[in-house]
Amino acid sequence: MSSRAVPLSSLGLTGRGGGNPDITGLAVDSRAVKPGFLFAALPGSRVHGGEFIQYALRMGAAAVLTDAEGAKIAAEELAASEAVLIRSDNPREALARSAALWFGAQPATMTAVTGTNGKTSVSTFVRQIWIETGLAAVNLGTTGVEGAWSAPLAHTTPEPITLHRTLAEAAQNGITHAAMEASSHGLDQRRLDGVVLKAAGFTNFTQDHLDYHRTFDAYFDAKAGLFARVLPEDGAAVINIDDPKGVDMAAIAKARGCAVLSVGRDGGDLHLQGQRFDATGQDLRFTWRGRTYQKRLELIGGFQADNVLLAAGLVIACGGDPDEVFDTLPYLTTVRGRMQLAATRDNGAAVFVDYAHTPDAVATALAAMRPHVMGRLIAIVGAGGDRDRAKRPLMGQAAAEHADQVIVTDDNPRSEDPAAIRAAVMQGAPGAQEVGDRAEAILRGIDALGPGDALLIAGKGHETGQIVGEDILPFDDVEQASVAVAALDGRLA
């Protein structure tokens, strides 16, 4: 980043007193600052970035971007420094737009999708459709950057410097199309401001992240920011109108002049009229602008049809030919950790792994599996520590209402007492079996499977670690399921 220098003004920023130093790089971590850098001292949930301004100045920062509080915290150090101060009422937004200007490139066609559940699946299906139609595409989110070019990501929606660096690298590697997840945290913290979108999608709205947003209204407002602020006025909003909040999202987009493409089971521009399920997938019947289509999906779970059609709507909104888009649907594959077939017992019973970690997601996943299962449906659920406590009994209740047998186990207890978390989940599923050790819970669940039964291991999906205290212990639900099936069916030597 320090191989070039640009005037501060070229990043859309104005320094105190009109100062306009050459900037050689951007950083939000004072330890990453080098001479000539712009350091963004942002407000945080635990500590204000202003506390680190003094360290950034010692490292040679040429400019500091912060708010009034940050400037007050480091007033003495800033007064004694030649570094230029940029004070903003919204330093996060200013950083995002400056990062976009600094890196200067992104894939030409971009979409973003928000909602409580389904973001990863929808963005992945968008990427798969694009690739099937011959385009160089990626998706960015919970599972990193995947597709025609790959890279790791630490967060679903990275902070702006990482995000725009990644988008620029993708463009430099020939990526022309990108679909990204827009998390509520990322939207609230203005991480997507500066990304140029052609279309944005909305999946659904249910309880999650109230430990951060505190209220449903604040949570909704964060997600609505994608349509109220980030999506350009000439962009298109693709909305699941079956969700009660879909109408509100559509109204917000229309108020800004955005085109709206509706997707739903009860109507919509892209209207799902029927589904037929079998053991390996489903057949869909849907209409688009008066024409009826029937297509095969090799995907388990009725809700996958909603995700796939929303993804198809986003591709169409970005200029894709509808017939070509719909012809790709039979070739779509399961997203890693989303209704993923992990193993099959010799008696035909199937084991699935899913990232469902909210009450609605658990209920949706189990209800969607039911038409595919001839026998009993067993669920393994838990809840994370240091997160929304109100949803714990609701997780147990969702599993108890939709599964024939429930096992409550640990799922990233973090700093909390795992037994206390399990007890809260058990409140919603008083008849459930409690097995604290997750590996043992998986083994017991698989051992209980008879012919025609199915097991859903919910909560971790693609994750490969169990967070206990401050340690991340290696743990992969898919791997554990495979080992358990092999052991129980005598496949291990």
Contact criterion met (CB below 8 Å) for 416 and 386: yes
Eight-class DSSP state of 18: G
Say whether 422 counts as a known binding-site residue. Answer: no
Say whether 409 counts as a known binding-site residue. Answer: no
Say whether 157 counts as a known binding-site residue. Answer: yes
- The alpha carbons of the chain give a radius of gyration, in whole angstroms, of 24
Say whether 152 counts as a known binding-site residue. Answer: no
Distance CA(69)–CA(122), nearest Å, equals 39
Say whether 66 counts as a known binding-site residue. Answer: no
Q: Which residues sit opposite 385 in a β-bridge?
A: none
Say whether 118 counts as a known binding-site residue. Answer: yes
Say whether 116 counts as a known binding-site residue. Answer: yes
Say whether 437 counts as a known binding-site residue. Answer: no
Distance CA(215)–CA(220), nearest Å, equals 9
Backbone angles phi, psi at 279, to 5 degrees: -65, -20
Say whether 10 counts as a known binding-site residue. Answer: no
SS3 content of the chain, % helix, strand, coil (to 5): 40, 25, 40
Give Cα 408 to chain centroid, integer Å.
25
Say whether 411 counts as a known binding-site residue. Answer: yes
Say whether 333 counts as a known binding-site residue. Answer: no
Say whether 412 counts as a known binding-site residue. Answer: yes
Say whether 156 counts as a known binding-site residue. Answer: yes
Distance CA(370)–CA(77), nearest Å, equals 63
Residue in the structure block whose two tokens are 């920062």: 61
Say whether 15 counts as a known binding-site residue. Answer: no
Counting Cα atoms < 13 Å in the Cβ hemisphere of 437 gives 5
Distance CA(130)–CA(177), nearest Å, equals 8
Cβ-count burial 353-386 (b if 16+ within 10 Å, e if not) = bbbbbbbbbbbbbbbbbeebbeebbbbbbbbbbe
Say whether 121 counts as a known binding-site residue. Answer: yes
Say whether 132 counts as a known binding-site residue. Answer: no
Binding-site annotation, residues: 30, 115-121, 156-157, 183, 189, 191, 387, 411-414, 459, 463
Binding-site annotation, residues for ATP: 115-121
Binding-site annotation, residues for meso-2,6-diaminopimelate: 387, 411-414, 459, 463
